[in-house]
Every structure is written in C-alpha cells, then in structure tokens.
A and B are shown apart, each in its own frame.
Chain A
Amino acid sequence: MFDEDVEQVPLRNGFGEGLLEAADEDERVVGLCADLTDSTRMKSFADKYPNRFIQTGVAEQNLASVASGMAAMGKVPFITSYAMFSPGRNWEQIRTTICYNDRPVKIIGSHAGVSVGPDGGTHQAIEDIAITRVIPRMVVIAPCDTHQAKKATIAAAKTDTPVYIRLAREKTPVMTTKDTPFEIGKAEVFWRGERPQVTIISCGALTYNALIAAKELSGEGISVTVINIHTIKPLDEETILELVKQTGAIVSVEEHQKKGGLGSAVAELLIQKHPVPMEMVGVDDRFGQSGKPEELIEEYGLGISHIKDAVKKALERKIH
C-alpha cells in the first residue's frame, strides 16, 4: 500500500459503481442531477435507467426539493452536484424539505476539498461537513477511497434517513479492499502501533497521508493509532473514547475547515466525556485557490509533515 505506484482512483468512481448496484437491487432508487452527470459519475446509471433519471439543469434548490417530493411518493432519490452547490447553495431546501420533512434523500457532493485544484476557491467546498452535520436526522459520510465510497453508497440506499456523502475530484490512493468491512457509524482502526502514544483520527483521502505519517513516526520512535472515521455523524463515540483512553492525546485530520468539521465533532465529544490534548490538521479559516492538488495540500497545511508535527505537538502537550 505504501508503494509509489499505489493504485489511485477518484472517490466519485466508487459512488458511480455503488449507485448502479443499488439501482439494480432496488427499483425505488432514482437519480437526479444538476447538469454534472458525467462529472459526478451518475452517467452509467442515467444510461442504464433513463426512466429513473431526472436532469434538472443548473438548479440545485429545485434538485433537492424535487427529490424530497419523489421520496414522498416512495422513491429513494440520489441527488448529485458539486458539494459547493449541493449542500452549499441549496442548504435551506435540504434542511427543510429533506431533513425537517424526514425524507430519505441521499445527497452526493462531489469535488469537496482544496484538492479540486486549478478550478480555484469557488469550487472547493471546505465547509460542507460543518453545514450538514448540524442538521437533525442527517447522516454525514466522508469516504477515504473508492471502495469505501461504493460501500457507503450501497449502504445509504438501504437507510431510511437523509444521508450526505462527500466525494472528491482527484485520483487518490486506494487503501482498503473490496472486502474491508463497512458499516455506517462504525470507525475502523487502520494502523495500530504498539503501546500507542497518540491517536490520529482521519476522514477522506487524507487518511492515506495519516498512514504514511504513522509509518514515518514509528521510524522516529513515536507510536500512534490511526482511526479512519468515514461517518462523521453519527459519531462512533465508543471507538473514539476507547482509543483515546489508551493514548491520552489526539490529532484530527481532514480536508475541511478546522471550524465545524470532523475535528470539531471529535472535540465536542472529548471535551464532555474525556478531555485530552488535541491538535487539528485542517484548513485554518481560509478560502481555497487555484493550484495543483499536491501544492494546495501543502499550502493549506494538510501534508504528511503537518500531520507529523501535529502528533509531536500533541505528544509534547500530553507530557508537560
């Protein structure tokens, strides 16, 4: 997995495959898209099931509410756009017509994070976890690779709640397999160092950076645990508390604003149940900009070295 030629596939591909499988299994599954069918990987579904596909045009508010109406008639709608526009532009429709109404619409937001790259800050959603996780009833999932995205999609189709799934544009390393277990709301330990000193908790493709950081740190004599938490809401409190009690320090890693994202969710839990020194790796109250994905990851403090620094800082705070 740590080879330089590690397989790289975009998260959105996993969604496309998952949607097809969910649609094959359940004829209630319908797909709606706001003029980004290919880019959000809804195209194979639209080609196979033209009667179950609705093209709304560039109208994200309508996208959300039409889906709610279809759910009211028994459908299981998946809606796709870029995360900046859905759940960004249409937040109130998602809040009222989907969540307040208790309709099981699945919101798929692609192109999240600064790694969208050259398109620039307008198209880099780094606030989407914050705005979705505050809505009652919403389940929030940020898969780490294509397999997890596929499993999350299939699992979302089977739930009777609204679900937000966060996807990304770029190819990213594949770190799980088809057989890796997946359950909504259940965190998995991806790296278990011996007598770990710090817990790293990570969502999305940056989990790969967290694993490389863990490997490099172990060479420096620092042992960590890496939790991959695909479901940010509901949070797997039991697993987090158990592992944090073992280490007494934690670092959160996400391609999202520090404010309101995974780190905030974990901090809300720990400050009430088991306060420990905590460091956050995330975007620090800035907007994105144009650049190559790998350049932006470094520019915004999300690289391997930043994770390692955060671990050392947390460790130091724990000791002193």
Chain B
Amino acid sequence: MKALNDKDVEMISKKAQDIRASIIEMLLEAGSGHTAGPLGMADIFAAMYFHVLKHNPKEPEWPERDRLILSNGHICPVQYATMAHAVYFPLDELKTLRKLHTRLQGHPHREYLPGIEVSSGPLGSGFSQAVGMALAERIDNGRTSQKYVYALISDGESDCGIVWEAAMLAGKNRLQNLIGIMDRNGIQIDGFTWDVMPLEPLRDKFESFNWHVIEVDGHNIEQFVAAAGEAQSVNDKPSMIIAHTIPGKGVPEFERDYHWHGKPPSKEEGEHALKHIRTLGGKITSECD
C-alpha cells in the first residue's frame, strides 16, 4: 500500500461526500433500504476502494486482488455507490437499487454483480466466509501472502454466535492475512447496541481470541489508513480494526438516531439531506464550488 499524502486524503474525503450523495439518491429512488449504516461507512469505503484495496474495476475477477467481504450486507448501498464511483459500473445504474431484475439486489448477490465477493445479508456468515478465504489462501501461499481478506462487519452483527465461532477459528490458525473492520456505530434495529445486547469490552474480547486490535475514528481517513497498514504488518495473528463511526454521518438529522437503521428518507428529507451533503453543511454556497 502506498503512503498517504494530503492530496490523497482530500481526494478520498471528496469521494466519500459523493458516495453519501449517491446513497441518498439511491434510497430516494428505491423507496426502501437502510440509511444510517451506509452513510456512516462512506469514509471507510472511500478509503478502501480509493487507497487500501488491491483491485481492478475493469477486471473484477483478477485473481491477485484482495478480497473485500461485506458481512453486514444490509449496508450495501454504500458498497454499490463506492463501486460505481470507482467505475465498476455506470453511476446511472445506482437508480435500479432494489428493483426487479436489478444487479443491485436489496442485499448483495455475487452472481448478479461482478465485484461482489459473497452474497450476504443473514448476519455473521460473511465474516465466517472471509475466514474460509483466508484459510484457503494460507494453504496455497503460506504465511507470507500479501493477498488480504478484509471482512467488514458491524457491532450489532456481533450478537451472532457465528461471529465468535469464526473469530476463534481465525485466532487459532493465526490468520495474518485476515483484517476485520468493525463498524462500531452503536445502533441496531431495535435500539442502541448497549441496550439490545451489551458487547463491551470488544477490544478485550477480540484480544482474548488472539486477534490484534486497533481502534480508530472511522471518519478520520489518516487514522483508518494507518490502521490498515498496521494490520497488514502484523504477521502472526488476524487484526480487527474497531472503527468508531457515527450512524447517518453527514446529515445531522440522521446522525446517531437508531430509527434510521432500516428506513429510507422521505422525498423532503432526502432533498434536504442532499443539499446538506453537497454544500458540506452550508460551508459552501454553490454546488459548483
């Protein structure tokens, strides 16, 4: 991974704002879907696709690519939007989200859209599939493999037993090529994670399962990319980046409110949100700036 300079950070931040605008547009058009998670993960997705990940949008099946597994499949609007901005497919296609015969299924399906590694949605098992990929890569290319498997999971998802079954197996096999990224946004469908099912101490839990744990501000590009670099350099265990994020990030009305977990904005709310995102919260007055 190349070093990150100020220009890169600016470019990634700009991409993240574009991705957020696309997410709102998609949800408005679809009339259903998840709002908070996708907005909250826009910075990390931008950093992954525009800096961290080894990939080739022109050749999604390129064998040497890193694997990015979205285990909490319901936040797929952020992945679709990011992929479109990375030119996997035309931006226009984003409008087909959740419609009949679309390649952009409500929860991602790998057979519909090249570049999606696993069909996911039922929580926890994408993480487990990522462990399987890292194990297979270990069998083929040993401990020095530079092909990384990035498993994006969420905090609410970690209520699932399979997450810990997978975490145990990865720790036991010291899968240095596996890098988990947890969206620690504190919300799930029924409420705040600490009310629904307390998860802390998450750091201690993963460390006790033989994982290297790094905590970052999930909206700080430099911190996140540095954490990814640190995770790549750990050579005797898997890494978990716990990314503290703000659900609904970028639109003050949506931020930190768990009611936005699983519903789309209305037309009015969406247009207001778009204006806010495009003017960077009023910091710029013209969309042409």
Residue in chain A with minimal CB distance to B71: A65
* A70 at interface by CB-CB < 8 Å: yes
Are A66 and B166 neighbours in the complex by a CB distance under 8 Å? yes
Bound together, the chains give a CA A30 to CA B134 distance in angstroms of 14
Bound together, the chains give a CA A102 to CA B67 distance in angstroms of 18
Bound together, the chains give a CA A69 to CA B169 distance in angstroms of 13
Query: Chain B interface mostly helix, strand, loop or mixed?
Result: helix
Are B136 and A69 neighbours in the complex by a CB distance under 8 Å? yes
Q: Which of B198-257 contact A (CB under 8 A)?
A: none
Stretch of A72-80, A142-150, A230-238, A309-317 at the chain-chain interface: A72-80
Residue in chain A with minimal CB distance to B138: A51
* B51 at interface by CB-CB < 8 Å: no
Known contacts A59-B165, A101-B118; is-contact A66 B139 (Cβ 8 Å): no
* A97 at interface by CB-CB < 8 Å: yes
Are A100 and B109 neighbours in the complex by a CB distance under 8 Å? yes
* A110 at interface by CB-CB < 8 Å: no
Contacts of B29 in A (CB 8 A): none
Chain B residues within 8 Å of chain A by Cβ, number: 30
* B133 at interface by CB-CB < 8 Å: yes
Shortest beta-carbon distance from A101 to chain B in Å: 5
8 Å CB contact of B135 from A57, A66, A97: A66
Q: Which of B69-84 contact A (CB under 8 A)?
A: none
* A124 at interface by CB-CB < 8 Å: no
Are B130 and A69 neighbours in the complex by a CB distance under 8 Å? yes
* B13 at interface by CB-CB < 8 Å: no
Are A70 and B135 neighbours in the complex by a CB distance under 8 Å? yes
8 Å CB contact of B125 from A56, A75, A96, A102: A96
* A126 at interface by CB-CB < 8 Å: no
Bound together, the chains give a CA A102 to CA B118 distance in angstroms of 10
* B190 at interface by CB-CB < 8 Å: no
Are A56 and B165 neighbours in the complex by a CB distance under 8 Å? yes
Shortest beta-carbon distance from B120 to chain A in Å: 8
Are B119 and A65 neighbours in the complex by a CB distance under 8 Å? no
Shortest beta-carbon distance from A135 to chain B in Å: 14
Are A65 and B133 neighbours in the complex by a CB distance under 8 Å? no
Contacts of B137 in A (CB 8 A): 73
Are A93 and B125 neighbours in the complex by a CB distance under 8 Å? yes
Bound together, the chains give a CA A198 to CA B135 distance in angstroms of 52
Are B161 and A66 neighbours in the complex by a CB distance under 8 Å? no
Known contacts A69-B132, A70-B133; is-contact A96 B122 (Cβ 8 Å): yes
Known contacts A52-B139, A74-B136, A100-B119; is-contact A59 B130 (Cβ 8 Å): no
Bound together, the chains give a CA A52 to CA B139 distance in angstroms of 7
Are B119 and A96 neighbours in the complex by a CB distance under 8 Å? yes
Shortest beta-carbon distance from A62 to chain B in Å: 4
Contacts of A92 in B (CB 8 A): 122
Residue in chain B with minimal CB distance to A61: B162
* B289 at interface by CB-CB < 8 Å: no
Shortest beta-carbon distance from B237 to chain A in Å: 17
Shortest beta-carbon distance from B141 to chain A in Å: 10
* A86 at interface by CB-CB < 8 Å: no
Contacts of A72 in B (CB 8 A): 67, 117-118, 129, 132-133, 136
Are B139 and A62 neighbours in the complex by a CB distance under 8 Å? no
Are A97 and B169 neighbours in the complex by a CB distance under 8 Å? no
Are A70 and B136 neighbours in the complex by a CB distance under 8 Å? yes
- Of the listed residues B110, B132, B173, the one surrounded by the most CB atoms of chain A closer than 10 A to its CB is B132
Q: Which of A10-31 contact B (CB under 8 A)?
A: 30
Task: Give per-residue flags for B109-124: 1 if the beta carbon is below 8 A from chain A beta carbons, else 0.
Answer: 1110000011101101
Contacts of A262 in B (CB 8 A): none
Contacts of B128 in A (CB 8 A): 61-62, 65-66, 69, 93, 97
Contacts of A51 in B (CB 8 A): 139
* A68 at interface by CB-CB < 8 Å: yes
Contacts of B140 in A (CB 8 A): 73
Q: Which of A80-101 contact B (CB under 8 A)?
A: 92-93, 96-97, 100-101
* A67 at interface by CB-CB < 8 Å: yes
Task: Give per-residue flags for A178-195: 1 if the beta carbon is below 8 A from chain B beta carbons, else 0.
Answer: 000000000000000000
Residue in chain B with minimal CB distance to A34: B165
Are A62 and B121 neighbours in the complex by a CB distance under 8 Å? no
* A241 at interface by CB-CB < 8 Å: no
8 Å CB contact of B162 from A62, A69, A73: A62
| Extra pairs beyond A51-B139, A54-B135 (12, CB < 8 Å) | A54-B169, A59-B162, A66-B135, A67-B132, A69-B118, A73-B136, A74-B136, A77-B132, A93-B125, A93-B162, A96-B121, A96-B122
Instruction: For the complex of A and B, list the 10 residue pairs with the smallest distance between their C-beta atoms, beginning with the closest.
Output: A69-B132, A65-B128, A73-B136, A62-B165, A69-B129, A66-B132, A59-B165, A65-B125, A70-B136, A69-B133
Q: Can you give 6 A-B contacts (C-beta < 8 A)?
A: A54-B135, A65-B125, A66-B166, A77-B132, A93-B125, A97-B125
